[in-house]
Structure 1
Amino acid sequence: MSCLAISFDLDGTLVETADEIARAVNLTLVDFDLAPRPPAEIEQLIGDGLRALMIKLLARILMEQPARVEWLDTDALLARLDAHYAAVVGSTARAYPGVREALQQLRDAGLPLACVTNKEGRHAQRVLDAAGLSDLIDVLVAGDTLAHKKPHRSVLITTAQLLKVKPGALAHVGDSRTDIEAARNAGVAAWAVPYGYNGGEPVALAQPQRLFAQIADVARHVLGGCEPAHQPAGALH
């Protein structure tokens, strides 16, 4: 495949955001007289958007404390979560080492770049701004941009259209099974990095077509200046 454009997941791929997400979640729980949860537990739920994360976490809490069902107002809790996250988003978000330099190299080479995330658009934009990456991203497709989120096939097909390439000329880079499935569903190249947030499961188990140690290696591979990426055993070709 000739790669003419690249899309990147946000949380856990381009930017480290777990700390501020955990902070917003725990501030919300305390507001509703619920005990804070370990940041590591919250991190394992990152990937499908903030509301989905909290709904999964509430399901665990209610399994442990079923009496809470009678008085817990989920809608009010989710609204408070959004307010807390709006207050902290971007406060500790940092681009992973080498990310900005790699994106700059790709842009300088003429490749259009997208960020595709299940995070709400207004929050995603603030993360990109805080991490100093906004000027390198041509298209942002967020969790509220379309009718569906990743891994629905429409997300990356639409991204390819916005970048003015065919799906077969787009590569998507993510850190999770959701990203790999989104790429497969859309017929785009499924690439991954091994760090980030994937529920504690190595992303290699999702069988990405290529697994890169870091975003800098993605740029080197695409621009033809380095060794090929590691291909996990059983990876699709």
Structure 2
Amino acid sequence: MSDSDSSITHATDVTRRKLVVLDMAGTTVADGGLVERAFEQAAERLGVEPGTPDHAEKLRYVLDTMGESKISVFRHLFGTEELARRANSAFEEAYGALVDGGLVTPLPGARAAIEQLRAEGCTVVLTTGFARVTQDAILDALGWQDLADLTLCPADAGGRGRPYPDMVLTAFLRTGAVADVRDVVVAGDTAYDMLSGRRAGAGTVAGVLTGAHDRAALAEHGATHVLASVAELPPLLLESP
């Protein structure tokens, strides 16, 4: 075997032992501001008038906490479990209608990156802060139901979303793809994605600049790498020693 053949085999072996946990909206999926639009519809149904300071404050919190489980966000905003669940249901309904309207698209290179990672022996898991019904609507709209090895929402991991490590650890336990959490790769566009990955003990926590938060925020919250997009993830893993 030539030196070049040996290096290719080594790179493939390195990648084969990886479990790659990818966020959806902002990381692999472009939603074009649908979170903001769906929140505005949901908030109005709960009596939060557009243009008021209360509306602006709540919207800012939604944007600042992108990546967190949506029900957790609404618990903070509305105080009671009943109101939080009403807000979350209204949000999911509004977001689902926007998805059904064809307003969600894959980010450039995302599908190819996932396909390449799986071809190289990685196990790929797609995660979200949305409820299962919304996650499935997105997957259906994109034709992605069979793209990844597993898909997870907060309810699949005991109910807690990011920044808790639960979805990453659930992916680790359910897939059995790797024996060591240091062989887990987490990629996302928010500070909460970074926190979730670091708290789970993932060896690679990659921030991408296609979504909610900038390089400084991703680095501050624990990114080991900051990439222009998820399309850069396969080369990163293939070149890792």
Short-chain TM bin: 0.7 to 0.9
Map of 1:111 onto structure 2: 122
3-state SS of paired residue (1:135): coil
Contact 2:42 2:91 in 1 (8 A): yes
TM-score of the superposition, structure 1-length normalised?
Answer: 0.76
Which residue matches 1:179? 193
Cα deviation for residue 213 of structure 1 reads: 1.4
> How much has 1:8 moved relative to structure 2?
0.3
* Distance change (3 Å), C-alpha of 1:176 and 1:114: same
CA drift at 1:49: 2.5
Question: Can you give the 5+ residue segments of structure 2 that lack an aligned partner in the other structure?
Answer: 1-13
Q: Name the counterpart of 2:169.
A: 157
Deviates more, 1:182-191 or 1:124-133: 124-133
Single out whichever of 147-156 and 188-197 deviates more from structure 2. 147-156
Q: TM-score, normalised by structure 2?
A: 0.75
1:111-162 Cα shifts (integer Å, max 9, x gaps): 2100122221221122123234332211112111121322333432221122
AA aligned opposite 1:23: R
Q: 2:132 aligns with which of 100, 121, 135?
A: 121
Q: Does 1:86 align with 2:106?
A: no
- What are the superposed Cα offsets for residues 83-115 of structure 1, whole Å, 9 maximum, x if unpaired? 333333354111111111111111222221001
Higher mean C-alpha deviation, range 154-163 or range 115-124: 154-163
**Equivalent residues, number:** 214
* Residue in 1 that maps onto 2:11: none
Alignment of structure 1 residues 178-217 onto 2, 5 Å: 178-189=192-203, 190-198=205-213, 202-217=217-232
Structure 1 counterpart of 2:49, from 32, 35, 48: 35
Distance 1:202 1:74, change over 3 A: closer
Per-residue deviation, 1:191? 1.6
Could you say if the C-alpha distance between residues 26 and 111 of structure 1 is closer, same or farther in structure 2, counting changes exceeding 3 Å? same
Q: Residue type matched to 1:52 in 2?
A: S
The AA in structure 1 aligned to 2:127 is V
Cα distance in 2, alignment partners of residues 26 and 142 from structure 1: 23
Give the corresponding residue for 2:70: 50
- What percentage of aligned pairs have identical amino acids? 20
How far apart are the structure 2 equivalents of 1:81 and 1:200?
A: 28
Question: Closer, same or farther in 2 for the Cα pair 1:56/1:199, shift >3 Å?
Answer: farther
